[in-house]
Structure 1
């Protein structure tokens, strides 16, 4: 009988982290992964004045030498902006701050005073990258929170395999990357939480390899002058997205790409969001305010359980 996987749950990158490691020196690998995630957070957090991201944002118009992981993440963020036609836009940081998201979410008060008027995001056209050096145009500052979690999950999952794990699952606030042998004899099973009913599941997905990410405007919300705001910014207006889609889940090869496309599809709305996911060859599920589910690509290929299929899910959403 195979040994139980080593497991750890802990706060990281402003979210809940969950690691599963199958095979290899499990406890040692968990410690390695947690240390790596802490190091990446120290590089990419916009809430740490000494992070590389804050140093870059504070240096408009000047070349800034970055570590290889940070430069690679900025490069991926610019590529994602290009690939989604600007629906995913890492330059929304001023708009996030104007909406009131100025500190780590657990420290954000539920009611905020009035703030600056929203303005469209400037976009990535003026960002220059040469090797590990980056230069931001004046007025451009980056938020790498969402894509950073996905990219960290991708990096750490692969590093765990390289360090001796037979399989690994890295879940950073709902950005999930699985790789290698799953515990037991089957595929990795990923629970997708029903964001409209926290603590219950919308579906269970089976993956031999790959990633699942969910983007939702039902979490990370706050009040300002009686109006409810959230962290998913529409780059064209600079205001929190106001479409009919409340949650998007995407299955893709990599967690950061699933995260990018989930956010872009939520902002695009149906049917444009479905078309976007299918154009990029991924599977997804868009849920609108009235509870209607819009499937994209080969979604059903991954589904092993839904509330409508009978029975109960094996465990609560993770």
Structure 2
């Protein structure tokens, strides 16, 4: 593909690194980044003026929301329902109790005092009416990974409608691809080995779909000599402590891949693999000792692993 028909941009967004790779739409990079900035302003839990903060600060009140925010909250509640509460956007009080009450760059690496776990409230009391949402008292939402995943889906959708030939939208590891990739063949997406940073577990080949990884080996801090992380078990309100440390999911949409990756990690290797297969997606679940277990049609997407020999292909994002 001619260089002039390929556009690429890396930037900080939503507390992580964003990477856009667009074919046949070099003039679409800045508008796409602008859309991501708009979504971050709507959904950030660290900006008091955001729609999310406005919703969280008004329990018992009908709060009008823009279509993207209404859609995000709706998807988060549905995800809670279909995963049996393994994915729960009401874990915000638990995250704050664990010390994640500011941007991660500002989180204290050693928290003083006692931290008391706060089990998640669940979504059963959240109400929808036209373009408004009402949260019950005590419930506050953290869109977390589903927000990045849904943002990747929305940007990919917008680029398709705007006339691009193809795109890879990567928001902190939540990847959505579609259309014509650079060169020939399909999009190649790397899955990092979280137990050995800087190396890859596998490379996946996709023409239209999404990849998301949930891991408790990143976003960590110290509390009373113990490692803490941001993946909260909704049932206990404490950081998840099961056997699974990393779950990668291939699905049709990035937000759905993100939801199922997090739910499977909370569930553990066996129940997590069953969950992924029940929902008809592919996945790889890795335990603390490095044992990997695939679920669904995982091998269908694998184009390279370290045991394949040779060098890995070039990454799309």
* SS at structure 2 position matched to 1:114: coil
The number of residues matched between the two structures is: 316
Output the CA distance in 2 between the equivalents of 1:302 and 1:285: 11
Structure 2-normalised TM-score?
0.97
Unaligned stretches of 5+ residues in structure 2: none
Which residue of the partner structure matches residue 14 of structure 2? Answer: 13
Q: For the Cα contact (< 8 Å) 1:200–1:317, is it kept in 2?
A: no
* SS at structure 1 position matched to 2:269: coil
Q: Tell me the CA shift for residue 315 of structure 1.
A: 5.0
Unaligned stretches of 5+ residues in structure 1: none
Output the CA distance in 1 between the equivalents of 2:315 and 2:72: 32
Q: Tell me the CA shift for residue 180 of structure 1.
A: 1.4
Which residue of the partner structure matches residue 248 of structure 1? Answer: 247
Instruction: Please report the RMSD computed on the Cα atoms of aligned residues, expressed in angstroms.
Output: 1.2
Q: For the Cα contact (< 8 Å) 2:63–2:133, is it kept in 1?
A: yes
Task: Output aligned runs, 1:32-71, within 5 Å.
Answer: 32-71=31-70
Output the CA distance in 2 between the equivalents of 1:96 and 1:33: 30
Structure 1-normalised TM-score?
0.97
Task: Output aligned runs, 1:145-294, within 5 Å.
Answer: 145-294=144-293
* SS at structure 1 position matched to 2:238: coil
Which residue of the partner structure matches residue 81 of structure 1? Answer: 80
Q: For the Cα contact (< 8 Å) 1:203–1:306, is it kept in 2?
A: yes
Output the CA distance in 2 between the equivalents of 1:222 and 1:257: 27
Output the CA distance in 2 between the equivalents of 1:70 and 1:64: 11
Structure 1 residue ranges (4+ consecutive) displaced by more than 6 angstroms after TM superposition: none
Q: Tell me the CA shift for residue 247 of structure 1.
A: 0.2
Output the CA distance in 1 between the equivalents of 2:312 and 2:222: 34
Q: Tell me the CA shift for residue 117 of structure 1.
A: 0.7
Q: Tell me the CA shift for residue 35 of structure 1.
A: 0.5
Which residue of the partner structure matches residue 2 of structure 1? Answer: 2
Q: Name which of structure 1's ranges 193-202 and 54-63 shifts more when overlaid on structure 2.
A: 193-202
Which residue of the partner structure matches residue 97 of structure 2? Answer: 98
* SS at structure 2 position matched to 1:17: strand
